[in-house]
Chains A and B, each alone.
Chain A
Amino acid sequence: GQNIDQPTEMTATEGAIVQINCTYQTSGFNGLFWYQQHAGEAPTFLSYNVLDGLEEKGRFSSFLSRSKGYSYLLLKELQMKDSASYLCAVRDRGYSTLTFGKGTMLLVSP
């Protein structure tokens, strides 16, 4: 089985940087994903990590440490439209299915 933990809520100011953490426990690991979900809308893919280290994509970066069962999503130059839920998900070895955390609701204020 898998267990994924992430903070329930975070707040930040427009233009700032925020880091959303995710810890996981899994019997087998085959990738960690971050999705963004605005209220009532579809989750949209942000990033994928399978090896240790940092993956950067524009204002968003994601980090993975497999030995620590830890990942974070870093959002820079926050914009109001970044207010959303951020979902951490883990894929098990031998499967393509994902187990999602309950999500971190990020509120960006002016």
Chain B
Amino acid sequence: DSGVTQTPKHLITATGQRVTLRCSPRSGDLSVYWYQQSLDQGLQFLIQYYNGEERAKGNILERFSAQQFPDLHSELNLSSLELGDSALYFCASSVGGTSGGRGNIQYFGAGTRLSVL
């Protein structure tokens, strides 16, 4: 158990709908990262938050947004869903923001499997 908690584990919805995925980081971690994993694309970085503020952005669509709350949990909002958004969505957390070193290793949650029908 990595200590990163993601809910829900599974989500089935229809095209055009909106969903919210939730992530609680490990105790003491200030950074949260969101990733999308599909069979053909591998693990793709979406966005990072550090202590409530957006720190880095990857291949995140405009239909997707995220935020990190004062208690450090994070939510990823996916709207106007399309069939191609079906994927595993992972959250990871680490201690620091932009620092390197062994102390800033990312630990992953179990993921949310999103199926858009």
| A interface list, Cβ under 8 A from B | 30-31, 33, 35, 40-45, 48, 50, 87, 91, 93-103
Q: Which of B41, B43, B98 contacts A96 (CB 8 A)?
A: B98
* A33 surroundings in chain B (CB, below 8 A): 105-106
Partner-binding segment picked from B14-22, B62-70, B77-85, B88-96: B88-96
* B113 surroundings in chain A (CB, below 8 A): 40
B8 within 8 A of A: no
A40–B90 alpha-carbon span in the complex (Å): 11
Inter-chain contact total with CB atoms closer than 8 Å: 67
| B interface list, Cβ under 8 A from A | 2, 4, 31, 33, 41-45, 48, 55-56, 58, 88, 90, 94, 96-102, 104-111, 113
Q: Given A43-B43, A45-B105, A50-B100, A96–B31 Cβ distance below 8 Å? A: yes
* A50 surroundings in chain B (CB, below 8 A): 100-101
Given A31-B101, A42-B90, A42-B110, 20 extra CB contacts under 8 A: A33-B105, A35-B108, A42-B109, A43-B43, A43-B90, A43-B108, A45-B105, A93-B100, A94-B98, A95-B98, A96-B97, A96-B99, A97-B45, A98-B33, A98-B45, A98-B106, A99-B45, A100-B42, A102-B42, A103-B42
Interface SS majority for chain A: loop
CB distance from A66 to the nearest CB of B (A): 14
CB distance from B35 to the nearest CB of A (A): 8
A83–B37 alpha-carbon span in the complex (Å): 19
Contact assessment for A91 and B88 in the assembled complex, using a CB-CB cutoff below 8 Å:
no
